[in-house]
Amino acid sequence: MQNYLNSNSYSEIDIQELLIVLWVHKLIIVFAFTVSILWAGYYASNADKSFTSSATFYSKTDQRDNLDFMSSGLNLSNITGLSNKSAGLSKSQINGRIFIKKIDAKLDLKGDPFFNKYNSQLVDSVWKSAIKRAIGWQSSQGDIQETIWQGISKNFSKNIKLTETDDGAKKISFTHEDPVRASAIANAIMMEIISSKTQKKNNIQDGQLSYLSNQLANALDDLEKSQSNLKAFTIDNSALPTSNFSDISIELNSLREELNLNTKLIMAVNELSIILKNKSASQADYILLRKIHPIIDQVEFRRIFGQNEIINSWSWPEINSVNTVLDTLSERENRLNNKIKLFKIEAQASSLALETYGRLQRDEKVAKEVYKVLIDQFKAQSLATGYRPDTTEIYEYATPSIKPSEPKLSIILISGALLGLTAGCFFALLIGTLRGVFFSKKSLFTSAQARFISSSKPLISLRNKSLAEINTHLKKKPRTILRDIIVEIHKSGSTIVIITSSHSRMTANDISRALAMTVQKNGTKIALINFSEQNKKQKNNTDQVSTGEFFVSENEGNLSILCPKNNSVAIELVSQKEFMQSIQSLNSIYDLIFICADNDDAISLLRALEGKTLYHLTLARIKRTKSNNLLNMRSLLPIQGLLHD
């Protein structure tokens, strides 16, 4: 079948063929379009109407609602992390059951059939009741109330719409079947949002002030405690722990220096004692001693032995004096060590006191600064809490809508028109596909692939005419198209011409007679056999001329109309084994043989002649000839000529 969505030459959509199919079935499209428009209008006029009302307000939630009077930029929000920027309600909160119950308390949503669609009189079907009894299901009053509130919440959330305008204003739209009810609900929602926002903001400010008061009391208590602790420490200890610690540290350092000097003296005296015990006191020993212990030339060392303080004057002391001095220095060393230990203990106690004193001072200073900051913030917050301006401005109250928002007539009509147009085109294409015929000359020509193509319109006047009438018509007005076809036949070199038709206005027999009458004028002997079943049986008389399996039923000049013998129909001969031999045997008598058949008979004839080299001329008609038939005919015997109407 020649599909109008594709051509045989190219694998692509044939737009022209598609448009032709739609145009041919335009009445179907118009009918579907009209029905769809009427249905859309009926639906729009009978559908449940709903009305939408909108309220608009502006809330300054993005600005700071508290005053900041502190030059340092500190405020309670920075200290506590509390903020009133989120004082408004979110979409989730507005769609929540708590908010819906607040609206219900004002407008009785539970008593509105638009929201509460629960029907207490509804009786379950038999099968549903049987299933409930089987599983032991029992409805409680709590289940009923929950079902009611779930339905109310669902309808409320479905019909509310929250949007924001370009300037940041909030727009609340609500849809209801009653326009007055829709505007009342929208206004109630707006006022509840404003009230909730204001109340929430005030609660936040009160909470901040309460929190700040508690923190201020705690700070004052901490300050008093730190001051009391500092006072008690001063009473129990020195008021100047830093000075005490410094004095002890200085004294301790002095003792350590004395101990260090005493140690050096002991070492030098020991060395001197060894020299004297060895009785090797000489100038060289003195020089070596002075080198090891430079302290012997210092004033402190010479004084303990009562020697001259001049460095160059040195005399060796007595061994007894050295031992006495060594004992004295040892006792002094023990005394200094004991004294240093005592001062270390005092220094440690003094450092602890100093550390405690410093900590108490820091605590007192921190408590004082915290108290100062909180008292300033408390003053600012008190003023801010007392000043509570209205930060919400109502731009528009909701009013009852004049026109319904749903259904939208224009959208319904447009949708209906598009649906009808689509359905009409679909059915048109479907019917066109089911018909399986050619809707344009282009598809017919492409499918036939004939070398010679022409219109059969000039030959219409020869339809259903006798041979004599045809001869008369051709004498009066010769047909050029017949001459062109005869030229094509001669060019093919074939002596057998097959003429077929597929639901055309002219039959193959009409064209065959016209061609035969034209050719026989030149003295060419012509035989014509009509293989269509509609051709009437001809009785074979004994005085009629016989030629093989045929006899001549009619003569006109050099043209002989042949019919099968034995009172049979010509199409029955195609099933005989010697059919082709019977046809070819006529070539010995006739110069040219025309064989014609229509519709299904033509396909049977062509199947019998399949694979033969013959000239094939076919007749086709736009919107009547089926593409399958033509393709089948072409596959059995190539088409050299095509006449169309």
Taking only the tens place, the pLDDT of each residue in 528-548 is 998 886 655 555 554 567 777
pLDDT at 498: 94
Going across the sheet that includes 559-564, the strands are: 452-455, 641-644, 615-620, 496-502, 592-598, 526-530, 559-564, 550-556, 546-547
Of the candidates 182, 168, 157, 181, the one whose C-alpha atom is nearest the C-alpha of residue 91 is 157
Q: Is residue 517 a contact partner of residue 467, using CB atoms and an 8 Å limit? A: yes
Q: Using CA atoms, how far apart are residues 265 and 296, in angstroms rounded to an integer?
A: 8
Tell me which residue has tokens 């004692």: 273
Residue that the structure tokens 């041979």 belong to: 467
- The pLDDT assigned to 452 comes to 94
- Cα–Cα distance, 644 to 642 (Å, whole number): 6
* Residue 6: per-residue pLDDT: 41
Can you give the pLDDT at residue 29? 93
In the prediction, which pLDDT does 73 show?
Answer: 40
The reported pLDDT for the residue numbered 426 is 93
Q: Which residues pair with 556 in a beta bridge?
A: 559
Q: pTM of the full predicted structure?
A: 0.56
pLDDT along the chain (645 residues), means of 10: 41 75 91 92 85 88 42 45 54 87 89 82 65 70 78 90 88 91 92 87 83 85 82 71 76 84 83 77 76 76 69 72 82 86 82 79 85 82 72 88 85 91 92 90 91 92 90 89 92 92 92 91 89 61 67 87 76 82 86 92 89 92 92 93 93
Total residues found in the chain within this entry: 645
User: What is the percentage of the chain residues whose pLDDT exceeds 70?
Assistant: 86
CB 266 within 8 A of CB 327: no
pLDDT tens for residues 320-369? 877 888 888 888 888 888 888 888 887 787 777 777 877 888 888 888 88
- For residue 233, count other CB atoms closer than 10 A to its CB: 18
Structure tokens at 293: 């212990």
Helices 319-386 and 241-277: crossing angle in degrees, nearest 10, is: 160
Rounded Cα distance between 25 and 429, Å, is 8
- What is the per-residue pLDDT across 571-600, written as a single tens digit (0 to 9) for each? 788 888 888 888 888 888 899 999 999 998
Q: Report pLDDT for 283.
A: 74
pLDDT of residue 376: 83
The count of C-alpha atoms lying within 13 angstroms of the C-alpha of 551, restricted to the half-sphere facing its C-beta, is 16
